[in-house]
Structure 1
Amino acid sequence: MLYGLETRNVSAWFGDRKVLDRVSLTVAPGGVTALIGPSGCGKSTYLRILNRMHEMVRGAALAGEVLLDGRDIYDPQQRPTEVRRRIGMVFQRPNPFPAMSVYDNVISGLRLAGIKADRRRKDHLVESSLRRAGLWTEVSSRLRTPGGALSGGQQQRLCIARSLAVSPDILLMDEPCSALDPTSTRRIEETIAELRSELTIVIVTHNMQQAQRVSQSCAFFLATHDTPGHIVESGPTEQLFEAPRDSRTADYVGGRFG
């Protein structure tokens, strides 16, 4: 079963500084939703709110609701570790455990999520996760080598495999290709395309061409010197790029600012 996400009037602060203002967005089950907008408009903060990482920042505060399967993930009865298992995160720069083997990197999330597995199940999870991340054929003979010995693009796909090993419903990706070369970027995009029928993906990207290539839905965030980050417009990706309703969206996707 595929799950979506819904945020209702989400606002966020770092200390006294308000960085998001009443953001409401429905992320449909399955497919890819891209979050676009200039730097500093709250996209990455919003992404971290979606799996309770925002609350880990000292002085951070939040208002509003984030619903997964109709339940607010910030409800006191919801365990943060379970929320983060169901809503995984891939960061801007690859962050495998460099001295840990490829095999152990993939299964490291099991321990953090409190999932017990025997050796046979671990072997299966490692292979299936690496296959889903498009990495198995490249590393199947190198499972015991350090994850840090892989190329940058391979490390990023290893991080995707690590997230997939705990069977998330949602995968959040914060500019996953920004530190990669064009060939590695293309492979990550192919992986995203292969995964979008299996789970729901939300990706932050500054690359307008990438947003058009990988996403089916899009949300345009904007902030000004006196206005916190907010959504100007959201909807099908094709609409936002070819027939935006707001002139600010048209200016941004057309490269006239940002």
Structure 2
Amino acid sequence: MTTTVPQPSATADPGRLSGLESRSVSAWFGSHKVLERVSLAMPAGEVTALIGPSGCGKSTFLRILNRMHEMVRGAALAGEVLLDDEDIYRHGRRPAEVRRRIGMVFQRPNPFPAMSIADNVASGLKLAGIKVGREHRDQLIEDSLRQAGLWNEVSGRLSTPGGALSGGQQQRLCIARSLAVGPDILLMDEPCSALDPTSTRRVEKTIAELRGQLTIVIVTHNMQQAQRVSQSCAFFLASHDTPGRIVEAGPTERLFSDPVDPRTADYVNGRFG
């Protein structure tokens, strides 16, 4: 049966959007514990930034949020991740459905280089097992590219290879591919780390435009970026003998201007990390 995919509305009521919450999440790779009882509310319709030094478990935590952690051999976890107050790890819940609702944009752009721009966007549907009629496909591609802030730059060359785009355009193409399936949550793992300043600004503009349409969780090492794009922030920290955990979380403005923990103040002010 052919189905259409609901797209987030630009005028959506944030009260009706999906939020995400972790409760006492711990994680292991084999016998090595990498996260310790991480509890964090990621408000609906807002951008939550995860900050902290390399190796403190931020990216592992992000992958736990859409069940990618379990794809790693020897990986294990404890705790709950709630989407609309329902645990995404409950028995019988299909990982593919979780990953459709909770999309992921990776650190480096990963479009299919020989596939056209249009087919790259539509490939997200195929990967998610969603069939869309031809009459809806073209409109869905346009809508997704518009949401990703890329339509005006590529509308006249949708049949050209995605690999011919610049790095920043490729990253926004990957965002469009994720948006095509109509996710409730979008996870972004250092999406600008491989981009130049101009491309970074464009991706950040896209994030700002998506705010209010869906919930975004972003890992970033750029403190200025965390301040620019997020409304909530969580500071992760680990040491050589203790797993990663959240030191402090709360509104971004407060975390940067008046943190409670002195370690947070040291990190956001560049005194370590």
- What is the TM-score of this pair, normalised by structure 2? 0.94
- Of 146, 157, 164 in structure 2, the residue corresponding to residue 149 of structure 1 is 164
Give 1:158 shift: 0.1
Residue 228 (str. 1) matches residue 243 (str. 2): yes
Give 1:113 shift: 1.5
Give 1:233 shift: 0.2
- Of 7, 10, 18 in structure 2, the residue corresponding to residue 3 of structure 1 is 18
Which runs of structure 2 are paired with 1:198-209 in the superposition (5 Å)? 198-209=213-224
Give 1:35 shift: 0.2
Distance 1:189 1:236 in 2: 19
Deviates most, 76-85 or 46-55: 76-85
Which runs of structure 2 are paired with 1:101-140 in the superposition (5 Å)? 101-140=116-155
Matched residue, 2:9: none
Give 1:149 shift: 0.6
- Of 2, 9, 14 in structure 1, the residue corresponding to residue 29 of structure 2 is 14
Matched residue, 2:6: none
Structure 1 unmatched ranges of 5 or more = none
Aligned length: 258
Matched residue, 2:186: 171
Which runs of structure 2 are paired with 1:89-108 in the superposition (5 Å)? 89-108=104-123
Q: Which runs of 4+ in 1 moved over 3 A?
A: none
AA aligned to 2:270 is G
- Of 192, 198, 201 in structure 2, the residue corresponding to residue 186 of structure 1 is 201
Distance 2:171 2:257 in 1: 31
Matched residue, 1:60: 75
Identity of aligned residues (%): 81
Structure 2 unmatched ranges of 5 or more = 1-15
Distance 1:75 1:153 in 2: 37
Distance 2:127 2:222 in 1: 33
Distance 2:230 2:186 in 1: 13
Distance 1:256 1:211 in 2: 17
- Of 99, 121, 128 in structure 2, the residue corresponding to residue 84 of structure 1 is 99
AA aligned to 1:132 is Q
Give 1:94 shift: 0.1
Give 1:203 shift: 0.2
AA aligned to 2:205 is E
Give 1:218 shift: 0.1
- Of 46, 49, 64 in structure 2, the residue corresponding to residue 31 of structure 1 is 46
AA aligned to 1:140 is S
RMSD between aligned residues: 0.5
Matched residue, 2:55: 40
Distance 2:81 2:118 in 1: 33
Distance 1:75 1:156 in 2: 32
Give 1:152 shift: 0.1
